[in-house]
Structure 1
Amino acid sequence: MGTISLGSRSETIRSTDTVDLRVPADPAYLAMVRTATAGLATRLDLTLDDIEDLRIAVDEACSLLLQGRAHPGRTLDTGFEVGPPGSGLLSILITGPLGQLPDGQGYAWSVLRALAGEVVTGVGDNGAWIKLTYVGRGDQ
């Protein structure tokens, strides 16, 4: 949130939008998360290549959190923070059913680090999580 002052009048404006998506913890639903990622990235005026990179990175993160299998009765929770149009900022927090993440080596981790910008991981009460922060070129 931010404040804009116009003389004696001021207004609070939203500097980011937040979108939450919850799907069953099943690889069959990853297309929904990838599509949501692409749709939100489009709002930031990213190039088609940047949008595809984000889709791939999100797919790899989700696959790591599911370890390639369904977890009946559990969910994959994704929270998106979308910066203002033209900012190029998209932050994606994905929480899955695993109690811990696989080690930080291998192809999926390499893809995440190469395509997503900043990658932070951890484990919370609701399971393991991966946070991807992408800062594109925006309106530069």
Structure 2
Amino acid sequence: MSDTSSLASGDAPAPGVPGDPAEVELRLPADGAYVSVVRTLTAGLAARLDFTMDDIEDLRIAVSEASAMVLDEADAGAQLDCRYLLAPGELTLTISTAAQDPVAPDYESFGWQVLATLASEAAIDAVPGSYSVRLTVRSSLEP
């Protein structure tokens, strides 16, 4: 999904430098059995950003909904690609997979309503060959 050469070229900020965003990537089989890994990693990263316990629980639910949406569209044998962008008080997660013929997003579905309510920002990108859900959650401690 991404070209790691950009990390080596110096274009991306160094992780751990206060105020600079850091990127984390995770690739798993597109199978519901692995969603718990995505939720656990997300919770750990949010804790590192000093999110509250309530924020982390909301984020776990949002990640479950986003994962379910993406997995429903995944091609057989596809990967689930998770890309995190971490910034002070803010976590952005994009979950994507290969999907030859994704259906149009259903913005009236219960899953979308839950996701849109729990995330500060959310979006779906469904194009031939790919389906992704992006969500941004900001800590309730941020002004």
> Normalized against structure 1, the TM-score is what?
0.79
- C-alpha deviation, 1:138, in angstroms: 4.1
Structure 1 letter corresponding to 2:139: G
RMSD of Structure 2 on Structure 1 (CA) = 2.4
Q: Do structure 1's residue 49 and structure 2's residue 54 form an aligned pair? A: yes
Distance verdict in 2 for CA 1:126–1:137, change over 3 Å:
same
Greater gyration radius: 1
Q: Where is the helix percentage greater, Structure 1 or Structure 2?
A: 2
Q: Deviating runs (4+, > 3 A) in structure 1? A: 69-72, 137-140
How far, CA to CA, are the matches of 2:45 and 2:38 in structure 1? Answer: 11
CA gap of 1:137–1:70, structure 2 versus 1, over 3 A, is closer
| Aligned match for 2:68, one of 63, 66, 70 | 63
Q: When the two structures are superposed, what TM-score results if normalisation uses the length of structure 2?
A: 0.78
Q: How many residues align?
A: 127
Within-5 A mapping of 1:122-137: 122-124=125-127, 126-137=129-140
1:75 equivalent in structure 2: 79
State the Cα distance separating 1:115 from its structure 2 match: 0.6
Q: Deviations over 1:72-116 (max 9, x none)?
A: 421010000011xxx211000110233325412111001101111
Is there any run of 5+ residues in structure 1 with no aligned partner, and where?
Answer: 3-11
- Aligned partners of 1:26 and 1:71 also within 8 Å: no
Question: Does the aligned pair in 2 maintain the 1:25–1:97 contact within 8 Å?
Answer: no
Identity of aligned residues (%): 39
Q: Aligned partners of 2:106, 2:119: CA distance in 1, in Å?
A: 18
User: Aligned to 2:123, which of 115, 120, 124?
Assistant: 120
